[in-house]
Chains A and B, each alone.
Chain A
Amino acid sequence: QQQVKQSPQSLIVQKGGISIINCAYENTAFDYFPWYQQFPGKGPALLIAIRPDVSEKKEGRFTISFNKSAKQFSLHIMDSQPGDSATYFCAVKRSYQLIWGAGTKLIIKP
Chain B
Amino acid sequence: EAQVTQNPRYLITVTGKKLTVTCSQNMNHEYMSWYRQDPGLGLRQIYYSMNVEVTDKGDVPEGYKVSRKEKRNFPLILESPSPNQTSLYFCASSFISGRAQETQYFGPGTRLLVL
Contact = CB atoms under 8 A, between A and B. Distances in A.
Interface string A87-101: 001000100111011
A98 to B, nearest CB: 6
A9 B101 CA distance: 29
B105 to A, nearest CB: 8
B58 to A, nearest CB: 7
A45 interface: yes
A103 B109 contact: no
Nearest to B101: A96
Chain B interface SS verdict (over half):
strand
Given A89-B42, A96-B96, A102-B41, A43 B48 contact: no
A106 B109 CA distance: 20
B108 A49 contact: no
Contacts of B33: 97
A46 B104 contact: yes
Contact of B40 (A4, A44, A49, A102): A102
Contacts of A46: 103-104
A110 interface: no
Nearest to B106: A43
Contact of A44 (B43, B50, B102): B43
B44 interface: yes
B109 to A, nearest CB: 6
Interface of B: 4, 31, 33, 35, 40-45, 48, 50, 58, 90, 92, 96, 101-109
19 contacts: A34-B102, A41-B108, A43-B4, A43-B90, A43-B107, A43-B109, A44-B43, A44-B106, A89-B42, A96-B31, A96-B50, A97-B45, A97-B48, A100-B43, A101-B42, A102-B40, A102-B41, A102-B42, A103-B42
Interface of A: 4, 6, 9, 32, 34, 41-46, 49, 89, 93, 96-98, 100-103
